Amino acid sequence: MSRKRSVRALAGAAGAVAVALPLAACGGGGGGGGDTVSVGFVAVGPEGAWRAANEQDVRDTFTEDAGFDLRYAPATNLDQQSQISAFTSFVDEGVDIILLSATEATGWEPSLQRAQEAEIPVILVDRGIDPDDPSLYVTRIAPDNVEVASSVAEWAVTEFPDGANYFTLEGPAGVGVVNERNSGWDSVIGSSPEFVKLGAQTANWSAEEAKSVFETVLRANDNDIQLVFAQNDEMGLGAALAIEEAGLTPGEDVKIATIDGTRGALEALADGRLTFVAEYNPLFGDTLQEAVDQALNDEPVDSYIIVPSLTFDSPESAAAALPERQF
């Protein structure tokens, strides 16, 4: 039996003990018998409210008390190379499992192959990779970006039965999430010729950048824009500021639809400044822990585990959700 296989067997035994304990039916990781499971978390780091909530949820899940040694490695200024270096270090250290939230979709094959050769399973957290080769990782756990963006587009078609001039505020180029959200939106809007796309531009998930971009877009189009599709909440809130400074009313003169469902976005929807918010649920630590336990016990895991998410289409729905909002 190899050293890595032995570690997994210990983790499995500990998980079996944990199942017998109250509140631990979903698996106890390496806890219970004193055997700690080492988890390398190649993270994105600071990138807005959604990312902060997601990464904190992971850190709150994989605690020492639960039997884990979580090694958190956020990217340096969202740089992929810093992530690759952290990933390589985790492989060299011989951690039991690696969680990967990739800043960029491409360029991961050599790292994933190296982990596979070292018998270290990898789970993709939130973002997918390109090309997508499920043989190189255990599973991807995330809401379905295509489905979430499709729900935004379906709302838009209902909200604007005669069509609209619209602009898309995108996340950083090269990120798989951006491509998936474009795909979901385009799959619906593409069959609605009455919708006129005035353009798309990245604002790097930033409210400040989105405000600057959309100020220029409004001027260039003489304010003749009825709809903004912002691929995250922060960019939608930035667009709202630009609309207000142009002397227009967000939510009335220009409707704004966003993705993520953070507290700030729901507050803005409750106030009427945003018009539609599609949640991209960041809180799936329990599901992630269960997948880690299954992987370490050599149990089958679905290659893509979709996290359910909600939509909010009115100030009333947002106000009702706010008291229990955790992010």
Per residue in 92-106, pLDDT (tens digit) is 999 999 999 999 999
- The better pLDDT of the pair 151, 25 is held by 151
User: How far is the first Cα of the chain from the last one, in angstroms, to the nearest whole number?
Assistant: 44
Rg of the Cα atoms in the chain: 21
Q: What pTM was estimated for this model as a whole?
A: 0.83
User: Could you tell me which residues are beta bridge partners of residue 42?
Assistant: 73, 100
pLDDT at 1 over 70: no
Burial 54-88 (b: 16+ CB within 10 A, else e): bbebbeebbeeebbbebbbbbbeebebebbbbbbe
Q: How far apart are alpha carbons 181 and 143 in whole angstroms? A: 11
The pLDDT, as a whole number, for residue 271 is 97
- The better pLDDT of the pair 28, 292 is held by 292
Give 91's pLDDT tier (boundaries 50, 70, 90).
Answer: very high
CATH number of 145-280+312-324: 3.40.50.2300
pLDDT at 23 over 70: no
Structure tokens at 135: 């043989």
Nearest alpha-carbon partner for 228 in 250, 209, 244, 212 = 250
CATH number of 3-142+282-296: 3.40.50.2300
- The better pLDDT of the pair 19, 79 is held by 79
Pick the range with the lowest mean pLDDT from 34-38, 58-62, 70-74, 215-219. Answer: 34-38
Structure tokens at 271: 């106030």
| CB-based burial label for 240 (10 Å; 0-12, 13-18, 19+) | buried
pLDDT at 216 over 70: yes
pLDDT at 19 over 50: no
Q: What residue ranges of the chain are covered by domains with CATH 3.40.50.2300?
A: 3-142+282-296, 145-280+312-324
